[in-house]
Structure 1
Amino acid sequence: MENAVDALQEKGRIGRTADSPNELTVSSHVVGSRLGIQVSDTGPGIPADVMDKIFEPLFNTKRFGVGLGLPVVKGIMQQHGGGVEIESKIGQGTTVTLWLPIPDSSTS
């Protein structure tokens, strides 16, 4: 969420128009036996060269960033049997989906 808010602030500096408002959306959905939690923003998007590195520990594009946020999130999700997907389009925004398995209620 913090990255999404930062992206919206960056877009605001670049130039926001009435037909392209800053938006942050959080939603959830179930696909099969997985729960997807999505955080979407209408920020500037992530360039392809950055996208290739975003899960690398210590990689960072922020002035005061450490570069551990996304690698830690990915590790936690994997420890719980889930994962992280990121889709981004330059000039349109980014969507991060956190996937978690839904336990089978018949085995609980």
Structure 2
Amino acid sequence: MFEVKKSGDKYHFVLKAANGQVILSSQMYASKSGAMNGVDSVRKNCGNDDCWERKTAKNGKFHFNLKSTNGQIVGSSQMYASESGMNNGIQSVKNNAPGADVKEVE
């Protein structure tokens, strides 16, 4: 499920797996419609392997970004202890995002 939240005067979204764990977080958007466009971009781009950026942090942990076709980061992951955990996170986004409902959270 996507949750769209307002923080101050900006909006962002998270994608949660069925167990409630956050698997993707967005940047801050100036408007709710911007955040909703970000949700649509995740749905549209998550199946395209070229849109995934796999990274290793200086501390050796793994994380990923999902980019739109114009190269802008649409969402980022948490840190994972292993590369396989990161790859499972990517697969979870691919599996969950296309049909996920959107809920607005206060």
What is the TM-score of this pair, normalised by structure 1? 0.28
What is the TM-score of this pair, normalised by structure 2? 0.28
